[in-house]
């Protein structure tokens, strides 16, 4: 920084600004005066003809911002009365060259330094001109949505407050920058869509106090971490709607400032006064730099948030720049003196750092620099006015003020438009629109409902009207017909009377011939009696027609009842047929399940055999060894079982081979009912094969079957046992043995179960046995009466000879025929009533062969023949 004779000795930290260095103008030849020059019209936003800010690149809203150097004007205060006197003999320490925008600071009588400023304002410069030069461009920027700062710096008494804060109440031409700025702002904004709010603060000894409410002290600064914007949420913000209220507010702030400082025992010149004006303007979408659409679609347009531009104007009346005596002679302690000066010296340091393009700018060192971070090196358009006095006595302070101004001129800001979408506003607007639509909808719905009600009522009225007129018409018709009826009756009566009269006249004429004494009575009496008769007949007719009506009604009701019954009958029938179908299905299902159960049983049996086998092998010590053939057999059996019912039989035969009959028979004694049934089934199946029959007998099969027969209750088991025994009964060789082991008794014992299937098997066994016996007798191997008769079978045979179940009946018929073939049985058969049965069979049996057999048997037996003769049975 050159303060003297340094030529171009200071560094230029702002490469964009063109720096002109003139040769120092000096009264002597020694070129010691330096001229620092910066053109006032440096780069930065300019006000375009349409009033919007356009940058050199033409972009209205460039995110990077547009460069805008801090502009500095110097203002010289006229000599005060005191100075007129005191400095009368001395020349001013400064000489202004406003046309060159230069200021010469006298060093001594022969030497001076020359400085160039953006604007040089002489002691004659009017307040209006000062406003227009220093403040107006900043105010216009604020109105366009930029931040702006106007600041006055200088020694106490040089006119900072006069320049910024003069209210101009006595002399309207003396109105300062604050008043004029608000005048311009209020003239430009529209109070319907825009808002202007003001805070007024004082910063003294690093404490911020609200000048609009002095009790609101020590207000803290809040910084937005994203944008870096600073705000004072604790400060009062007053909305300004007219100039008068603003001036009032300024006056109030001034009064509070004075009172507060008196109370603190501080001079007003030691505090900084800060006026903040927040201007929020709503921008129509299509004019906005943020809007990319032309808004053709009205619907979209309404949904588009408006754009809000938020400019903030900060006007700072700084504390006096003179140095405070460090000795504290002004009544301050050293600490106080430091604190009083802290913000101002921090501002100086920051401006130095910015002017020199230092990496570190100590913004956080003081409240003032934090508050003004946007004003120097930030995004605001900043204008500084430095105020100086003419007195050579204060030359040192004047020089230092000038140097401050010179350095501030080098600070480059990047102006940025502060605009954002007004989502809140949009939301409000949409809410209003929504409410309107809701109300409209409600109205429409109501009118719709009313219309429906009206139509309904109308329809009801019409219906009742029609009903009424219909009833009227009916009544009219009825009356008309009644009248017609009565008239025709009357006519008929008249006719009748006429007829009778004619008749009477004829009679009279006849009576005349007879001699006319009873003439009148003769005419009258037949007429009266005829009328009476007619009325009686009429009555009868009426009665009859009533009766007929009643009868007809009854017939109708009976008919409808009949129809109903028919209908219900058909539905019942369909139900029944459905149920029948279901029943058949169930039966089929049952059969299938039974088949499955049988297969499962045989599997179970097989498994138990297998287990037994394994156990046996284990007992023999053959642990872990399964004979290969058994294994394959089992799988074969399983396979066969899956194939068909024949598989079951085959598997039984195989099982039989494999496990031995003994084992199967032993299972007849099993505790497990299922196992027992199954064993019975197997035995029954085996017994069907002649080859197995002897084997079964050898293994005490009959006694085991007999035992089962005696113990079993269920018809299925009994049927199978009876079937097995019946099969054995058909074997000629086993007759004696079977009988000997109680086979016949067992068979007969099973008739206690009245199940026809069981009885059929019993009958079959008896027939088989009788057939074999008969054969043996014929061959001569059997003598004496039948073992069946011996074992008491005859009574049951006779009893069931005419059983209604044909399988039973057939077997018994055959058995009787067989028994009857041998004379040895004849006596018992006759005494037991079997003869009668045979006679019946020979006459009535539906099967011809049996009938013939019975007949032949009867006629070939002498015993039967003689008995029949004795009983006079025709043969
Ligand atoms: P500061 O605020 O810098 O301490 P003031 O604004 O209080 O100084 O000014 C001190 C005195 O000088 C005031 O009486 C003021 O009216 C007067 N004054 C300052 N500047 C001018 C000017 N340009 N023209 C006329 N009077 C001025
Ligand atoms: Mg002042």
Of the given ranges (319-323, 516-520, 539-543, 655-659), which has the lowest mean pLDDT?
516-520
Whether residue 153 has its Cβ less than 6 Å from ligand 1: no
Per-residue confidence (pLDDT) for residue 652, from 0 to 100: 57
In which residue are the tokens 């009643």 written?
550
Closest atom, ligand 1, to C-alpha of 76: 23
Q: Does the beta carbon of 269 lie inside 6 Å of ligand 1?
A: yes
Q: Is 32 helix (H, G, I), strand (E, B) or coil?
A: coil
Residue 420, H or E segment: strand 419-422
Euclidean distance between CA atoms 316 and 153, whole angstroms: 9
- As a whole number of angstroms, the distance between CA 266 and CA 331 comes to 9
Q: Are 762 and 770 in contact (CB under 8 A)?
A: no
Buried b (16+ CB within 10 A) or exposed e, 132-146: ebbbbbbbbbbbbbb
Ligand nearest to the CA of 158: 1
Which residues are close to ligand 2, an ion, with C-beta < 5 A? 160-161
Q: What is the mean pLDDT of residues 371-381?
A: 94
Distance, CA of 378 to CA of 229 (rounded, Å):
10
654 has a pLDDT exceeding 70: no
Q: Taking the CA atoms of 577, 583, 584 and 589 in sequence, report the sign of the dihedral they define.
A: positive
Predicted pLDDT at 5: 35
Cβ–Cβ < 8 Å for 309, 283: yes
The predicted model gives 420-437 an average pLDDT of 85
Closest-approaching ligand to the CA atom of 321: 1
> SS3 breakdown of the chain: % helix, strand, coil, rounded to 5?
60, 10, 30
Instruction: Specify the residue with its C-alpha closest to ligand 1, atom 11.
Output: 157
Least confident of 54-63, 593-602, 640-649: 54-63
Q: What are phi and psi of 423, to 5 degrees?
A: -70, -35
Distance 389 CA to ligand 1 centre (A): 9
What single-letter DSSP state applies at residue 11?
A: -
Look at residue 287 in the predicted model and tell me its pLDDT: 43
Residue 164 Cα to ligand 2 middle (Å): 9
Residue 490, Cα to own-chain centre: how many angstroms? 85
Task: Compute the average pLDDT of residues 758-772.
Answer: 92
Residue 254: the pLDDT is 92
**Beta-bridge mates of residue 75:** 121, 387
Nearest to 776, CA basis, from 818, 726, 811, 737: 818
* Per-residue buried b or exposed e for 794-818, using 16+ beta carbons within 10 Å of the residue's own CB: bebbbebbebeeeebbbbbbbbbbb
Task: Give the nearest ligand 1 atom to 123 CA.
Answer: 23
| Ligand 2: centre distance to CA 100 (Å) | 29
Q: Tens digit of pLDDT for each residue in 484-530?
A: 999 999 999 999 999 888 877 766 665 555 554 544 555 556 678 88
- H or E element in which residue 209 lies: strand 207-210
Q: Which pLDDT score is estimated for 18?
A: 32
In terms of Cα–Cα distance, which of 291, 277, 288 is closest to 164?
Answer: 277
The pLDDT value given to residue 331: 64
Query: Scanning the structure block, which residue is given the tokens 């090196």?
Result: 377
The three-state secondary structure class of 73 is: strand
Ligand nearest to the CA of 387: 1
Give yes or no for residue 77 CB within 6 A of ligand 1. Answer: yes
CB of 136 closer than 6 A to ligand 1? no
Cα–Cα distance between 381 and 138 in angstroms, integer? 6
pLDDT at position 512 is 54
162: Cβ below 6 Å to ligand 1? Answer: yes
256 or 647, higher pLDDT:
256
Number of residues written out for the chain: 875
Average pLDDT over every residue of 551-562: 91
Q: Where does 644-714 have alpha helices with state H?
A: 645-659, 661-666, 673-687, 690-698, 701-711
Share of the chain above pLDDT 70, in %: 80
Q: pLDDT band for 4, please (50, 70, 90 cuts).
A: very low
Apex 274 CA angle, 271 and 279, nearest 5: 175
Strand partners, 277: 198, 313
Q: Is any atom of ligand 1 closer than 6 Å to the C-beta of 160?
A: yes
Ligand 1 neighbourhood includes 154 CB (under 6 angstroms):
yes
158 lines ligand 1 (CB under 6 A): yes
pLDDT score for 609: 67
Give the pLDDT of residue 513.
53
pLDDT of residue 449: 95
Between residues 697 and 816, the one the model is more confident about? 816
DSSP 146-205: --EEEEEEESTTSSHHHHHH---SS-GGG--HHHHHHHHHHHHS-TTT-EEEEEEEEEET
Choose one of 84, 123, 159, 387 to mutate for the ligand 1 pocket test, by most ligand atoms within 8 angstroms of C-beta: 159
Confidence of residue 673 (pLDDT cuts 50, 70, 90): confident
Partners of residue 203 on adjacent β-strands = 208, 272
Q: Is the pLDDT of residue 301 over 60?
A: no
C-alpha to C-alpha distance for 563 and 569, rounded to whole angstroms: 10
Cβ pair 153, 405 in contact under 8 A: yes
Lowest average pLDDT, out of 257-261, 647-651, 689-693, goes to 647-651
CA of 387 relative to ligand 2 center, distance in Å = 11
The CA 160 to ligand 1 mean position distance, Å, reads 7
The residue among 66 and 23 whose pLDDT is bigger is 66
Instruction: Give yes or no for residue 161 CB within 6 A of ligand 1.
Output: yes
CA of 344 to the centre of ligand 2 (A): 15
Q: How far is the CA of 406 from the centre of ligand 2 (A)?
A: 22
What is d(CA 102, CA 116) in angstroms, rounded to the nearest whole number?
Answer: 4
Residue with tokens 């049975």: 873
Q: Select from 387, 389, 322, 388 the least CA-distant residue to 79.
A: 389
In contact, 315 and 380? CB cutoff 8 Å: no
Are the C-beta atoms of residues 374 and 65 closer than 8 Å to each other? no
Strand partners, 384: 72, 151
Asked if 816 and 801 touch (Cβ cutoff 8 Å), the reply is yes
SS3 329: coil
Report the nearest atom of ligand 1 relative to the CA of 125: 23
pLDDT for res 76: 97
What average pLDDT does the structure give for the chain?
82
**Three-state DSSP class for 513?**
helix
Listed in sequence order, the residues at least 6 apart from 291 whose beta carbon sits closer than 8 Å to its beta carbon are 285, 304, 307
34: helix, strand or coil: coil
Ligand 1, atom 19, lies closest to the CA of 159
* 3-state SS string for 755-779: CHHHHHHHHHHHHHHHHHHHHHHHH
Ligand closest in space to the Cα of 163? 1
Percent above pLDDT 90 for the chain:
46
Query: 425, 308 in Cβ contact below 8 A?
Result: yes
Compute, in angstroms, the gap from residue 197 CA to the centroid of ligand 2: 24
Beta bridge partners of 273: 202, 317
- Contacts (Cβ under 8 Å, ≥6 apart) of 805: 756, 759, 760
Do 253 and 179 contact (CB within 8 A), yes or no? no
Please provide the distance, in angstroms rounded to a whole number, between the alpha carbons at the two ends of the chain. 170
Least confident of 154-168, 251-265, 547-561, 579-593: 251-265
Which tokens belong to 577? 């047929």
User: Which H or E run includes 468?
Assistant: helix 423-514
101-128 b/e (C-beta count within 10 Å ≥ 16 → b) = bbbbbbbeeebbbbbbbbbbbeeebebe
CA 317 – ligand 2 centroid, Å: 7
Q: Ligand 2 centre from 853 Cα, in Å?
A: 158
pLDDT at 525 (0 to 100): 66
Task: Inform me whether the pLDDT recorded for 792 exceeds 60.
Answer: yes
Those residues whose C-beta lies under 8 Å from the C-beta of residue 83, and which sit 6 or more positions away, are: 389, 390, 391
Task: Tell me which of 74, 76, 77, 160 to substitute to probe ligand 1's pocket, judged by most ligand atoms within 8 Å of the beta carbon.
Answer: 77
576: CA distance to ligand 2 center in Å? 117
- Label the pairing between strands 94-97 and 412-415: unpaired
The predicted structure's pLDDT at residue 265: 67
pLDDT at residue number 48: 37
Verify whether ligand 1 is closer than 6 Å to residue 159 (CB atom).
yes
> Does ligand 1 have an atom closer than 6 angstroms to the CB of 387?
yes
Q: Which two tokens stand for residue 470?
A: 């219909």
At residue 834, does pLDDT exceed 50? yes
Q: For 241-289, how does the pLDDT look when each residue is reduced to its tens digit (9 = 90+)?
A: 999 999 999 999 999 988 777 777 667 688 999 999 999 998 875 444 4
Ligand that comes closest to the CA of residue 79: 1
Q: Which residue has the higher pLDDT, 124 or 337?
A: 124
Ligand 1 and 157: CB distance under 6 A: yes
Compute the distance from residue 166 Cα to the ligand 2 centre, in Å: 10
* Predicted local confidence at residue 644, as pLDDT: 43
| Ligand 1 neighbourhood includes 647 CB (under 6 angstroms) | no
How confident is the model over 647-675, as a mean pLDDT? 67
According to the model, what pLDDT value does residue 523 have? 53
Global pTM value? 0.49
């Amino acid at each position: 920084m050159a303060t003297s004779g340094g030529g171009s000795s200071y560094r230029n930290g702002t490469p964009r600004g063109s720096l002109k260095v003139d040769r120092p103008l000096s009264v002597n030849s020694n070129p010691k005066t330096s001229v620092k020059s910066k053109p006032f019209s440096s780069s930065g936003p300019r006000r375009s003809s349409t009033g919007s800010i356009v940058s050199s690149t033409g972009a209205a809203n460039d995110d990077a911002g547009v460069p805008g150097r801090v502009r500095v004007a110097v203002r010289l205060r006229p000599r005060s009365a005191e100075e007129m006197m005191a400095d009368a003999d001395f020349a001013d320490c400064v000489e202004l060259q406003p046309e060159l925008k230069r200021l010469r600071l006298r060093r001594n009588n022969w030497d001076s330094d020359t400085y160039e400023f953006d604007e040089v304002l002489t002691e004659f410069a009017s307040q209006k001109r000062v406003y227009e030069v220093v403040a107006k461009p900043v105010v216009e920027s604020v109105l366009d949505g930029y931040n702006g700062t106007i600041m006055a710096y200088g020694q106490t008494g040089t006119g900072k407050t006069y320049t910024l804060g003069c209210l101009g109440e006595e002399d309207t031409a003396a109105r300062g920058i604050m008043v004029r700025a608000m005048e311009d702002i209020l003239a430009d904004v529209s109070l319907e869509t825009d808002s202007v709010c003001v805070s007024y603060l004082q910063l003294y000894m690093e404490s911020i106090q609200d000048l609009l409410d002095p009790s609101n002290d020590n207000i803290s600064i809040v910084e937005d971490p994203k944008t870096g914007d600073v705000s004072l949420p604790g400060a009062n913000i007053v909305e300004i709607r007219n100039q008068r209220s603003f001036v009032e507010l300024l006056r109030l702030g001034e009064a509070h400032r004075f009172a507060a400082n008196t109370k603190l025992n501080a001079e007003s010149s030691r505090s900084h006064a800060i006026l903040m004006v927040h201007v929020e303007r709503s921008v129509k979408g299509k004019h906005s730099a943020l809007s990319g659409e032309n808004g053709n679609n009205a619907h979209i347009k309404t949904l588009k948030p408006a754009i809000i531009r938020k400019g903030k104007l900060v006007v700072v009346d700084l504390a006096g720049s003179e140095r405070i005596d460090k000795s504290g002679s002004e009544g301050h302690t050293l600490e106080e003196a430091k604190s009083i000066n802290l913000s101002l010296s921090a501002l100086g340091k920051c401006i130095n750092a910015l002017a020199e393009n230092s990496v570190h700018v100590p913004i956080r060192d003081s409240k003032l620099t934090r508050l003004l971070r946007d004003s120097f090196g930030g995004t605001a358009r900043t204008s500084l006015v430095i105020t100086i006095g003419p007195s050579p006595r204060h030359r040192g302070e004047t020089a230092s003020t000038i140097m401050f101004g010179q350095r501030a001129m080098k600070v480059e800001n990047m102006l940025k438009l502060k605009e954002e979408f007004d989502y809140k506003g949009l939301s409000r607007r949409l809410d209003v629109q929504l409410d309107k639509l809701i109300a409209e909808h409600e109205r429409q719905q109501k009118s719709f409902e009313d219309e429906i009600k009206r139509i309904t009522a109308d329809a009801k009225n019409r219906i009742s009207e029609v009903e009424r007129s219909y009833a009227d018409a009916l009544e009219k018709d009825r009356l008309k017909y009644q009248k017609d009826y009565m008239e025709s009756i009357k006519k008929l009566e008249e006719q009748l009377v006429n007829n009778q009269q004619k008749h009477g006249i004829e009679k009279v004429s006849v009576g005349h011939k007879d001699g006319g004494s009873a003439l009148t009575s003769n005419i009258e009496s037949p007429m009266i009696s005829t009328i009476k008769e007619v009325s009686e007949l009429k009555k009868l007719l009426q009665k009859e027609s009533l009766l007929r009506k009643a009868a007809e009604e009854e017939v109708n009701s009976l008919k409808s009842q009949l129809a109903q019954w028919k209908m219900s009958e058909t539905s019942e029938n369909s139900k029944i047929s459905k149920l029948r179908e279901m029943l058949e299905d169930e039966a089929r299902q049952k059969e299938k399940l039974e088949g499955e159960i049988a297969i499962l049983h045989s599997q179970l049996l097989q498994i138990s055999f297998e287990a037994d086998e394994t156990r046996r092998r284990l007992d023999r010590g053959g642990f872990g060894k399964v004979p290969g053939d058994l294994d394959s057999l089992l799988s074969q059996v399983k396979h066969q079982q899956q194939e068909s019912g024949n598989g079951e039989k085959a598997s039984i035969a195989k099982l039989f081979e494999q496990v031995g009959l003994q084992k199967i028979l032993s299972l007849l004694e099993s505790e497990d009912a299922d196992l027992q049934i199954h064993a019975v089934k197997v035995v029954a199946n085996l017994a069907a094969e002649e080859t197995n029959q002897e084997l079964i007998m050898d293994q005490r099969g009959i006694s085991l079957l007999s035992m089962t027969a005696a113990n079993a209750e269920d018809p299925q088991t009994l049927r199978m046992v009876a079937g097995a025994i019946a099969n054995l009964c058909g074997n000629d060789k086993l007759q004696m043995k079977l009988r000997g082991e109680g086979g016949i008794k067992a068979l007969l014992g099973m008739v206690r179960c009245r199940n026809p299937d069981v009885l059929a098997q019993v009958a079959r066994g008896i027939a088989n046995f009788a057939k074999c016996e008969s054969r043996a007798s014929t061959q001569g191997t059997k003598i004496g009466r039948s073992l069946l008769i011996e074992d008491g079978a005859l009574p049951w045979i006779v009893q069931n000879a005419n059983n209604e179940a044909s399988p039973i009946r057939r077997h018994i018929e055959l058995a009787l025929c067989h028994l009857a073939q041998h004379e040895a049985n004849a006596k018992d058969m006759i005494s037991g009533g079997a003869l009668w049965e045979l006679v019946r069979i020979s006459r009535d049996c539906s099967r011809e062969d049996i009938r013939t057999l019975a007949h032949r048997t009867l006629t070939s037996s002498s015993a039967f023949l003689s008995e029949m003769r004795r009983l006079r049975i025709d043969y």
